[in-house]
Each structure stands twice: as C-alpha cells, then as structure tokens.
C-alpha cells in the first residue's frame, strides 16, 4: 500500500549545522508531497509542499525537491537554529479524499 | 484570519463512555478532516467531509463517527471508549476543491485521555 518512510530520530545538531531529514515514499500514482512541523504541545503546521516531479518547495530556509526517480522528498536547511527544534513529518496525498499519509516523524533537537 | 479551532483542548474520560470533539474550519474552507495521533507516531486519517458529505474514511471501527454542519464546522464522536483511544485528535480544514493541490491546515488538537 501507499506509505511514507522517514529516517529514524532523534537528530541532534549544533546551531548553524546543515540539516537533512530523509523521506521516501511508496505510491501507486503521482502524489503531492508535504512536510509538516509539530512544535511541543502544538498541532501540525505546514512547512512546504510540492505537487509534481522536480518541484521544489521552500519556506523559512527549509527546502525539499520532489524526486520521482528516487521516490524521495528529503528536507534540508543550510543553518539550523535552536528554534527549529521540533518533530518533522513527511506526508503524501494521492486522492481527492484529502487523506494524508504520514511518516512516523523525525525529532530534531538543536543545541546552542 | 482565525485558523482552525478545536474544542475542548483536553478531555479525560473513562472506558465505555462517549465523547464529542468539535472543530471549526478556516473561513471559506468547505472540507474538514479528522486524524488520530498516538504518542510518538504520525497522524492516522479517520474521516474527511466536504460540503456536509463524507468523502473518505480511514481504517477505524464503527465506534467512530462524524458529521459536518451547514456552517462547515464538524463533530467527531467516539462511542464505547477504549484505553487505546487515548490520543491527540487533530482536525484539518481545506478548500476541498483543489484535487491533489488541496492543502490541509491543522488545528491545535484535542488531547483525549481514557482511564
């Protein structure tokens, strides 16, 4: 079935380090892809999205490119801040039902 | 503009009881979806409603039901609560008519604890 796999966490980085969180997907069609972020005690916030192959989504210094050939949507940021500490979820949607399929989440901890 | 709102914020129930969770979408959004997020996992899709009709259902038992009202707000009902129903319940709203480009915006969630 359709699914999303994220790299295991937690990921611990020092401030200003480069971030990569891997995300790969399995889908029967051509999904739209999303990254959501969840700060402690809060709901999910949309971080970025891409709706077709080779699209690059970007927001707040984060970016991810929709790679159909590798079925991947890796999240990157050039220089992380302590305030980026959160849980990051990769997700896909395939249908008009709006059903989002999420990965298990990756916890990012940034230390000063 | 106000975002998605949910009530209550927290709820404690005992096994066998019934619970109703409420959600108000972003103004102009006609679709509401419900998700269950168990601690340490990604959210799992429960329902989607669009224009008051059910448009999608996840793999949840019939104890879970929902409805959408003419003002596009929504309720999620869970009967005969089990310990395993303890989770964060998230509501998301979207325009509902953008196909795969439709983007869902989430509320803060309702934390349900079943004792």
Rounded distance between C-alpha atoms, residue B70 and residue B84, angstroms: 32
User: A42 to chain B: which residues are within 8 Å by CB?
Assistant: 108-109
Is B33 in contact with A49 (Cβ distance < 8 A)? no
How would residue A108 be classed by pLDDT, with cut points 50, 70 and 90?
very high
The DSSP secondary-structure symbol of B58 reads -
Q: pLDDT per residue over B69-102, tens digit each?
A: 999 999 999 999 999 999 999 999 998 877 766 8
* Residue A96 predicted with pLDDT over 70: no
Is A99 in contact with B31 (Cβ distance < 8 A)? no
B82-107: burial string, b at 16+ Cβ within 10 Å, e else? eeebbbbbbbbbbbbeeebebbbbbb
Q: pLDDT per residue over A61-81, tens digit each?
A: 999 999 999 999 999 999 999
Mean pLDDT calculated for residue range A12-25:
97
Mean pLDDT calculated for residue range A83-109:
91
Is B56 in contact with A95 (Cβ distance < 8 A)? yes
**Of A45, A93, A103, which is closest to B100 when you measure between CB atoms?**
A93
Nearest C-alpha neighbor of A93 from the set B115, B110, B112, B31: B31
Closest chain A CA to residue B43:
A102
pLDDT of residue B100: 66
Closest chain B CA to residue A45:
B106
Is A89 in contact with B43 (Cβ distance < 8 A)? yes
* Residue A40 predicted with pLDDT over 90: no
């Amino acid at each position: 079935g359709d699914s999303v796999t994220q790299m295991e966490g937690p990921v611990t980085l020092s401030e200003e380090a480069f971030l990569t969180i891997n995300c790969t997907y399995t889908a029967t069609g051509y999904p739209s892809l999303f990254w959501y972020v969840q700060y402690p005690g809060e709901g999910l916030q949309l971080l970025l999205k891409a709706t077709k192959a080779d699209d690059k989504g970007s927001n707040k210094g984060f970016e991810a490119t929709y790679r159909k050939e590798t079925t991947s949507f890796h999240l990157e940021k050039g220089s992380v801040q302590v305030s980026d500490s959160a849980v990051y979820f990769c997700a896909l949607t395939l249908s008009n039902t709006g059903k989002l399929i999420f990965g298990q989440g990756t916890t990012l901890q940034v230390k000063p | 503009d106000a975002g998605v709102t949910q009530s209550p914020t927290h709820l404690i129930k005992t096994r066998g009881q019934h619970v109703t969770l409420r959600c108000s979408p972003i103004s102009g959004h006609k679709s509401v979806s419900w998700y269950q997020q168990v601690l340490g996992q990604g959210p799992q899709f429960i329902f989607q409603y669009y224009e008051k009709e059910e448009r999608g259902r996840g793999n949840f038992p019939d104890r879970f039901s929902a409805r959408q009202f003419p003002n596009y707000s929504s309720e999620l009902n869970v009967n005969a609560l089990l310990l395993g129903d303890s989770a964060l319940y998230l509501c998301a709203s979207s325009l509902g008519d953008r196909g795969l480009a439709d983007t869902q915006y989430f509320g803060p969630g309702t934390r349900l604890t079943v004792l």
